[in-house]
Amino acid sequence: MGLRGYGVTPKEAFEQTGLALTATVTELDSVSPDERVDVECEAPDLELLLVDWINALVYEMATRNMLFSRFAVKLDGNRLSGSAWGEPVQRQKHMPAVEAKGATYTALKVCEQENGGWMAQCVIDV
Amino acid sequence: MNKGEYTLQRESEFAWRIDPTGKMRVPGVVYADESLIEGMDDKVFEQLANVASLPGIVQAAYAMPDAHWGYGFPIGGVAAFDPDEGGVVSAGGVGFDISCGVRCLRTGLTVDDIEPHKKKLADQLYKHIPVGVGSTGRIHLNDKGMQGMLRGGARWAVEQGFGNPEDLEHIEERGCMAGADPAEVSDRARKRQQDEMGTLGSGNHYLEVQRVAEIYDRNTAAAFGLQVDDVVIFIHCGSRGLGHQIGTEFLKYMVLAASQHKIELPDRELACAPINSELGQAYLGAMRAGINCALANRQIITHLTREVFADVLPKADLTLLFDVSHNTCKVEAHRVQGGERKLYVHRKGATRAFGPGHPEIPETLRAVGQPVLIGGSMGTESHVLVGTEQGADLSFHSACHGAGRAMSRHQASKQWRGRSLVDELAERGIQIRSPSMRGVAEEAPGAYKDVRAVVDAAEKAGLARKVARLEPHVCVKG
């Protein structure tokens, strides 16, 4: 499944891909942003950093058994500090459809657009 | 026929060839009929050509009749590499769900035995076998347990009391993949797995109770212990979070190390490392531990299934026909241009299909060939095939693995509603249980290709021979 985020800056586009990731699993509105989880990533370029960001979220979702509905990203060169707010998975409430296995390098792109905004996209395996 | 920028030469009614162009080192070969080829996305052929350009590839890059575009390698892709010719091992060529596969259990029951108990059976299986996102198993693995599982696979599971030693004879590698190196499995991969043993997962994974609806090959079916109206069980799942994490991590390592290994990647998803390199060997050690995780997982689910049947239908006797993985890289001996070579055969969404007499086949089945288990969709049918002798020359003894998706999850969820599908299938006598109605819609039978066209093409191409057709009666869906 493809994730695509748009934003005025790369940081915003990254945050939007976090929302897209949750939307592959459940309705975004059903997830309360109650608990915060922080992640750190580092990669040689923005595209590889996007894969790392999504994979960091997949890992936190899997090991904490959580879903997230709010995201904040700070980009500093090749480093990303991110936060995700969410709650534990509840089968009745969230009815999760699929489990993200990991981000792939397929259709991976982070680029500035003609209107000056940014787009970040990748495909996740579910 | 032209597909995208590639020209397919028809070699026979069911075999098509792409001659090497550009950076391709070997041809691409697709086994399918004309209508399956027409239905394949152009990306399949581009991906096949990319695989054909990888270092050390031997003979050809193959696509099975169910091929569809995947990440890097096409799903339904087979490629063999020679370490002595700079051959590579590819994390993308195995996929995220390492050793995802299918196991088939006989039950000793007929359809009349289960008919009055089908709803209860469906409810109990759904209750007893953890399924779907966020489900955890009853087993929490400590460090010692994790180590034992990663080395021992299904053999470890049997030692822990999950199943019988006889089961092991009917699992590839006798239930335990040699060469696993737990030291190469990261703490993060272990953490993702510690509560996931004995869980089905989600997506296209399932457990089905099926009826043998038709026998195509009486003698082989008899050797497999299958008769019309027999009830069998298909379990389709893989190495869960551990495999996903190993795939994720090594994909990145291989992408970052490609230039150091002087490998030009036509697509980053084809990330690979020379077999004879530190990274290649590390991945093989971790990937084999992932295979053991999948084998242990299916073994534990088998045990849970037996517990349910013992409760609901106590006269059932669940015996293992076979367990075969379809996302792997395995070292195998193959004859290439008259000489035997040890090759690293990648099968991504493709099933090993050894022919009669192959030493890797359990003794009880060796005379007829290896069972090839093909999962269809929850509303249609599955198939049991058997490996052929000519499969050795055609595809390094490989065949298809399923129906293959015909449309995306997104399209499917727009076209169908899960609840209505469950009701419609119930009217046709198929009990579906799933935690997610959207998940059911995404897995709608109409979202898949016609599995019969796929197995027919596999048979006519000579990759495997049809033995039996199975119809679903109960499906527990992830």
| pLDDT tens figures, B214-257 | 999 999 999 999 999 999 999 999 999 999 999 999 999 999 99
Q: What is the structure's pLDDT at A47?
A: 95
Which is more confidently placed, B189 or B267?
B189
* Closest Cβ–Cβ partner in A48, A98, A123 for B202: A98
Maximum distance among all alpha carbons in chain B? 63
Residue of B83, B87, B103, B22 lying closest to B54 (CA atoms): B87
Q: What is the structure's pLDDT at B158?
A: 98
Residues 326-365 of chain B with CB under 8 A from chain A are none
* Chain center to CA of A85: 12
Which two tokens mark A118?
């940014």
Residues B351-361: what's their mean pLDDT?
A: 97
Could you tell me how many CB contacts below 8 A there are between chain A and chain B?
A: 99
Residue of B477, B97, B461, B34 lying closest to B251 (CA atoms): B97
A 10 A CB-CB count for B364 gives: 12
Q: Are B431 and B119 in contact (CB under 8 A)?
A: yes
The response to whether B50 counts as a known ligand-binding position is: no
Interchain proximity B71–A1, CB inside 8 Å: no
Per-domain boundaries in chain B: 2-406+448-477
Q: Are B66 and B95 in contact (CB under 8 A)?
A: no
Interchain proximity B244–A48, CB inside 8 Å: no
Interchain proximity B95–A63, CB inside 8 Å: no
Residues B312-336: what's their mean pLDDT?
A: 97
Q: What is the structure's pLDDT at B167?
A: 98
**H helix runs in B129-239, sequence order:** 143-159, 165-168, 187-193, 218-224
* 3-state DSSP assignment of residue A66: strand
Residue B312 has pLDDT above 90, yes or no: yes
Residue in B closest to A27 by C-alpha: B438
The DSSP code for B431 is E
What b-and-e string marks burial along B334-346, b requiring 16 or more CB atoms within 10 Å of the CB?
A: beeeeeebebbbb
Interface residues of chain A, partner chain B, Cβ below 8 Å:
1, 25, 44, 48, 51-52, 55, 58-59, 62-63, 65, 89, 91, 95-99, 101-106, 108, 123, 125-126
* Closest Cβ–Cβ partner in B132, B244, B478 for A102: B244
Residue B473 has pLDDT above 80, yes or no: yes
As a whole number of angstroms, the distance between CA B20 and CA A106 comes to 24
Q: Are B186 and B249 in contact (CB under 8 A)?
A: yes
Q: Which residues on chain B are in Cβ contact (under 8 Å) with A96?
A: 132-134, 202, 435-436, 439
Residue B373 has pLDDT above 90, yes or no: yes
Residue matched to tokens 């030693």: B165
As a whole number of angstroms, the distance between CA B252 and CA B282 comes to 13
Residue B121 has pLDDT above 90, yes or no: yes
Per-domain boundaries in chain A: 2-125
Q: Which residues on chain A are in Cβ contact (under 8 Å) with B256?
A: 44
The response to whether B207 counts as a known ligand-binding position is: yes
Give A60-119 pLDDT, tens digit per residue: 999 999 999 999 999 999 999 999 999 999 988 998 988 899 999 989 999 999 999 999
Residues B398-420: what's their mean pLDDT?
A: 91
The response to whether B375 counts as a known ligand-binding position is: yes
Active site annotation includes B401:
yes
As a whole number of angstroms, the distance between CA B335 and CA B318 comes to 37
Residue type at position B296: A
* First and final C-alpha spacing in chain B: 39
Which two tokens mark B171?
């699992």
CATH class of B2-406+448-477: alpha beta
DSSP string, B72-87: SSPEEEEEEE-GGGT-
Residue A8 has pLDDT above 80, yes or no: yes
* Closest Cβ–Cβ partner in A44, A96, A106 for B269: A106
- Å from B72 to nearest chain A CA? 7
Residue matched to tokens 């180590």: B147
Kindly report the average pLDDT of chain A as a whole number: 95
Give B338's contacts (C-beta < 8 A, 6+ positions apart).
none
Q: What is the structure's pLDDT at B129?
A: 95
Interchain proximity A97–B248, CB inside 8 Å: no
As a whole number of angstroms, the distance between CA B434 and CA B290 comes to 26
As a whole number of angstroms, the distance between CA A103 and CA B71 comes to 10
* Closest Cβ–Cβ partner in B95, B134, B203 for A89: B134
Give A122's contacts (C-beta < 8 A, 6+ positions apart).
A2, A3, A17, A50, A51, A54, A103, A104, A105, A106, A107, A108, A109
Q: What is the structure's pLDDT at B455?
A: 97
Instruction: Give the residue from B44, B99, B131, B133 with the most A CB atoms within 10 Å of its CB, the best one to mutate.
Output: B133
Q: Which residues on chain B are in Cβ contact (under 8 Å) with A57?
A: none
Residue B134 has pLDDT above 90, yes or no: no
Give B432-457 pLDDT, tens digit per residue: 999 889 899 999 999 998 999 999 99
Active-site position among B334, B358, B397, B401: B401
CATH architecture observed for domain A2-125: 3-Layer(bab) Sandwich (3.55)
Instruction: Give the residue from B248, B411, B433 with the most A CB atoms within 10 Å of its CB, the best one to mutate.
Output: B248
The DSSP code for B2 is E
Q: What is the structure's pLDDT at B77?
A: 97
Which two tokens mark B297?
């997982």
Q: Which residues on chain A are in Cβ contact (under 8 Å) with B47?
A: none
Q: Which residues on chain A are in Cβ contact (under 8 Å) with B96?
A: 101-102, 104, 125
Kindly report the average pLDDT of chain B as a whole number: 95
Q: Are B104 and B298 in contact (CB under 8 A)?
A: no
The response to whether B204 counts as a known ligand-binding position is: yes
Provide the ipTM. 0.92
Residue B106 has pLDDT above 90, yes or no: yes
